[in-house]
Structure 1
């Protein structure tokens, strides 16, 4: 079978590999869709401290059960399934406190276990133990289901800063994650949602899809001034930096309202300069800055329900479908911003 295997930064190969077999307590899944994530781009270019090469990449996985390992019950060949990306241990102090997104022994598909950029993937017993294999609801396609993993991370990010009704929410970044944030904020009852993006073409494309109350092009002038003008000087209740930009993080505290919440959702690339936050603004406005990193198995299930109910549509965010053999082309499209969400179909 074909796989996309990571060996080192700058060395990712599409190659042939033996078809895997599930061991006891495992399930083999025929991959139907696995979306490309910005993290896949970062791993391919820069590596990742958690990944153990050589490793088959891909963590946004949807497909159908192909084979059951010994002792597995409750599943049947042909069942449509979505697989969590981050796998909590369920045993550490954080997991016992219910903080599964910051599990002290977290593992992940495509990092510690071979992922979904392959024709088949073996779902480890640890995923099953964490209730991390989700049955895809009727009416939800495999491509949509594969987007449940990033949507679950978006859900975690908004839960951490309590996005709710009457909030003015600013989402920075017009990529697929930013678009999901806009739609989820709407679903959670936000009164006003603003979308900020530096690239004018990308902003226009995203705004046409998700219809924010206002679309702000960051290249047109000072973002803080524009947000403050649109909010009559008050600022935003919640700001979500859904982009790998230190400048966006610096600016966020300038237009957050008093007691506003700022989600530092997008991680910064390694080796770059760190943002210079004005901590006096944090101090005097009593702002809350929150990191957002992952998602829990429960949030993955909730994300699938949001997609199935139509509360957060994702099908139109998947703009390109490519075969596994065109992985490098998919990566370049993501890097250039030429696509929103790209899904690979082995």
Structure 2
């Protein structure tokens, strides 16, 4: 079979590999869709400290069962696979905090992922309820988007996005688009979308229809989005600011955009060699702001994300702008890197 393997930064190869065999408690699937994301682009450029090459990449996975000894699964079952695998037994997992499990592993990092014709779902995934049945009416490509939607769901739960909120999403990539749609489904009054990439912002806005778009630059004060958002909100700011971009400027702007008692989600992580931002502590203090992080998703988030897709609360089919064969996975990652798409999915 064909796979896309990471060997080193800048070195992902399409290679032949033997078809895997499911061991005890494992499930072998035929991969139908494995979507790409900005993390894949980062891995291609910089590698990742959890990846020991060679490793088959891909973590937004949907397919159908072809082989297993697990009695609850049968050949032909349509399934979606979690990306982040909590251990299920540590102190955090026992408290229901699976997203911050210190022993967490990941598909495409610790285990071969979905940029392959076939793959094996580890028993560890099944042990934490991480293999989900795809609901009727949901296609494989849509199901593969459940994983990033699950991460978005975790972020909005932590930021308490709810009825009547004004929400600003900074970053109009696939994650930003999912944030816009999920915020609407959670009852937000108005949702604004901001980006420094005018073309991507226009592409996203055409599909997710925010109440307004805000185009700025990547400096803290230049073409500052703060003034534009304050004008849109009659000087109040937004109840929630979600930084769906790996941007220090966005995080610093969020502190000045949030309304009193506003919530700020640092959804997009910063580069590990430059993670420090300027924080006006008095803004946090006097405005009673809440700043929360967001780290991936739990198995339960993945299951709920599939439900949101299935019942139409968060449509995702129109966000998939490119469908590519496995042989063109590098082209797909390049498209993601350039911000020239919303969602790119690979169909092995």
What band does the TM-score fall into relative to the shorter chain? Answer: over 0.9
Deviations 1:199-248 (A, max 9, x none): 11111111110111111111493211111111111111100000111111
1:283 deviates by: 2.0
Greater Cα shift, 212-221 or 295-304: 212-221
**For residue 43 of structure 2, what is the aligned residue in structure 1?**
43
Equivalence for 2:82: 84
The answer to whether 1:103 aligns with 2:105 is no
The answer (yes or no) to whether the contact 1:46–1:270 under 8 Å persists in 2 is no
| Aligned partners of 1:64 and 1:77 also within 8 Å | yes
CA distance in 2, matches of 1:245, 1:265: 10
Match of 1:18 in 2: 18
User: Match for residue 176 of structure 1?
Assistant: 174
Match of 1:262 in 2: 264
Alignment partner, residue 246 of structure 2: 244
Cα offsets for 1:25-64 (capped at 9, x unmatched): 0000000000001111111111112222221110000000
Partner of 1:288: 290
In structure 1, what is the Cα distance between the partners aligned to 2:128 and 2:53? Answer: 24
User: Is 1:4–1:117's contact at 8 Å kept on the other side of the alignment?
Assistant: yes
Aligned mates of 1:224, 1:303 — CA distance in 2: 31
- Map residues 118-129 of structure 1 onto 2, 5 A cutoff: 118-129=116-127
Partner of 1:312: 314
TM-score normalised to structure 1 length? 0.97
Taking the aligned partners of 2:208 and 2:247, their CA distance within structure 1 comes to 22
In structure 2, C-alpha distance between the alignment counterparts of 1:104 and 1:267, rounded to whole Å: 17
CA separation in 2, counterparts of 1:294 and 1:174? Answer: 18
1:194 alignment partner in structure 2: 192
Q: What is the rounded CA distance, in whole Å, between the counterparts of 2:80 and 2:125 in structure 1?
A: 11
Contact 1:42 1:269 in 2 (8 A): no
Q: Secondary structure of the residue that 1:65 maps to in structure 2?
A: strand
Classify the secondary structure of the residue corresponding to 2:75.
coil
Stretch of structure 1 that moved more, 7-16 or 324-333: 7-16
Q: List gaps (5 residues or longer) in structure 2.
A: none
Alignment-derived partner of residue 229 in structure 2: 227
1:34 matched to which residue of 2?
34
Counterpart of 2:14 in 1: which secondary structure? strand
**TM-score, normalising length: structure 2:** 0.97
Query: What SS does structure 2 have at the residue aligned with 1:226?
Result: helix
- What residue is the counterpart of 2:151 in the other structure? 153
* Map of 2:305 onto structure 1: 303
For these two proteins, the number of residue pairs brought into alignment is 344
Q: In 2, distance between residues paired with 1:118 and 1:279?
A: 48
Task: Check the 8 A contact 1:321/1:343 in 2, yes or no.
Answer: yes
Q: CA RMSD in A?
A: 1.1
SS in 2 for 1:15: strand
SS in 2 for 1:295: coil
How much does 1:273 deviate? 6.2
